[in-house]
Amino acid sequence: MPESIIRETHDKVGLIRINRPAAMNALNDEVIEGIGSALASFEADDDIGCIVLTGDSKAFAAGADIRAMKDFDYMAAYQGDFITRNWERLKTCRKPVIAAVAGYALGGGCELALMCDTIYAAENARFGLPEVKLGTLPGAGGTQRLPRAVGKAKAMDLCFTGRMMDAVEAERCGLVARIFPTEKLVDETIAIAQTIAGYSLPVLMMIKESVNRAFETSLAEGLLFERRTFHASFALEDQKEGMTAFLEKRTPKFRNR
């Protein structure tokens, strides 16, 4: 694992910390590829049920590394498949991934958080897509995922002005699921992730696929996908265990089958 990524295991939770404090956790290839390797190792680990991605208390990530990008030309970006090549690893992760955001989540940092399944924010979190100030536009999904999360008006406002929004505004507009005191963010997120990881992993994967389908298809197709997936859940031992445990007034023991 590169120095810029810290990988920790907390019982059934895999924690990935971006660790480039001198550059506000700006995202270069080393960081992005480190996140990709950590994700792959947690996905391959049957003991891990949920993954948390975080930075430090000052920055989740202040964007793509401007120093590394400054001299790119079109052919370098296009032929090197900039962003698609390694950033989108998060998109293919089948286990739940939570972004725990403290401090700045700007540009590519905000886009990285948007690729996660949900976002928990610290009180000091600041979200923004300031690419317009650099003479470019959000290029890692910001113009597509932000409007889906917060609606067109707010997304246009953030992309056009490059301004930052705080955690309260981010929660109000639906970008963020919950807000925690800054010093408690990671512990609280890990605690929630432990609860999630205690459920049946195949069910979590079915939930993730079904919710994500809502952003890819019509309501009728999405409902059909959900219904078929729901039907499929009755083939799981974990469904029998969950319902039996409820009726026997005991805690279920899920075995991911």
| Contact positions vs ligand DAK (CB under 6 A) | 23-24, 26, 62-67, 77, 82-83, 104, 106-108, 130-131, 134, 136, 139-140
Nearer to ligand DAK by Cβ, of 64 and 125: the residue is 64
Active site residue 171: no
- State the catalytic residue, choosing from 109, 111, 113, 193: 111
- State the catalytic residue, choosing from 62, 113, 131, 141: 131
CB of 108 to ligand DAK, least distance (A): 3
Active site residue 109: no
Give the span between the Cα atoms of 112 and 108, in whole angstroms: 6
CB atoms closer than 10 angstroms to residue 165:
21
CB of 52 to ligand DAK, least distance (A): 22
Sequence-distant (≥ 6) Cβ neighbours of residue 10 within 8 angstroms: 190, 193, 194
Active site residue 108: yes
CB of 153 to ligand DAK, least distance (A): 22
CB of 131 to ligand DAK, least distance (A): 5
Nearer to ligand DAK by Cβ, of 31 and 52: the residue is 31
Burial class of 27 by CB neighbour count within 10 A (0 to 12, 13 to 18, 19+): buried
- State the catalytic residue, choosing from 108, 109, 128, 139: 108
Nearer to ligand DAK by Cβ, of 161 and 217: the residue is 161
Q: Is 53 helix (H, G, I), strand (E, B) or coil?
A: strand
| CB-CB contact of 176 with 124 (8 Å) | no
CB of 28 to ligand DAK, least distance (A): 8
| CB-CB contact of 98 with 52 (8 Å) | yes
Give the span between the Cα atoms of 27 and 2, in whole angstroms: 13
Q: What H or E segment, with its residue span, contains residue 79? A: helix 74-79
Nearer to ligand DAK by Cβ, of 138 and 252: the residue is 138
Nearer to ligand DAK by Cβ, of 21 and 240: the residue is 21
Residue with tokens 């100030």: 133
CB of 165 to ligand DAK, least distance (A): 13
Active site residue 111: yes
Nearer to ligand DAK by Cβ, of 147 and 242: the residue is 147
Encoding tokens for residue 40? 């792959």
Burial class of 216 by CB neighbour count within 10 A (0 to 12, 13 to 18, 19+): exposed
Give the span between the Cα atoms of 74 and 79, in whole angstroms: 8
- State the catalytic residue, choosing from 23, 38, 61, 64: 64
Would you please indicate which residues are annotated as catalytic (active-site) residues?
Answer: 64, 108, 111, 131
